[in-house]
Amino acid sequence: MGRWLGIDYGHKRIGVAAGRSEDGIASPLTVLEGLSLAAAIEKIRLLAQEYQAAGVVVGWALNMDDTEGPQGLLTRQAAAALAAATGLDVRMWDERLSSFSADKALAGQMTRKKRRGRQDALAAAKILEDFFASDGPSHSLPPDRAQAPKQ
């Protein structure tokens, strides 16, 4: 699989992580904040180039009942735009509870404001590690073919 970027896509912030499938470890890189979708895509393209990423895993915000809500749809649309603009192998990955896990890991370590900024990059790393652990490319779809388990 090689190197991949992980993305935790949010309305205000986008967490970015990088990792290698060989060791299954991902590291938080940065949080992109206050950017238009086009500007965020360009930043992600540059990071993918810098880290020689084979692809990008985008955390897909599904509801607990396996349906896709408004944020899930926005995320899938952003992932499709990323794939179209960059030509990278972009995959969708169920991110349920990744932000919760990241918040739990940071609890008591810093102020709430600092934690909120760091949480998105940690969530992106969690998404990427889950992707590696579950043989993601064999069990994930590009955004243009992804559908929520329940419609």
Residue 6 pLDDT more than 80? yes
- Predicted confidence at residue 77, as pLDDT, reads 95
Domain spans in the chain, listed from the N-terminal domain onward: 19-139
The reported pLDDT for the residue numbered 111 is 58
pLDDT tens figures, 70-100: 999 999 999 999 999 999 999 999 887 544 4
pLDDT for residue 102: 43
Q: What is the pLDDT of residue 108?
A: 55
Q: Which residues of 73-96 are buried (b: 16+ CB within 10 A; e: fewer)?
A: ebbbebbbbbbeebebbbbbbbbe
State the average pLDDT over residues 101-118: 55
Instruction: CATH number for 19-139: choose from 3.40.50.720, 3.40.50.880, 1.20.140.10, 3.30.420.140.
Output: 3.30.420.140
pTM of the model: 0.84
pLDDT value for 30 = 95
Name the 3-class secondary structure at 65. Answer: coil
Q: Would you give the distance in Å from CA 136 to the centre of its chain?
A: 13
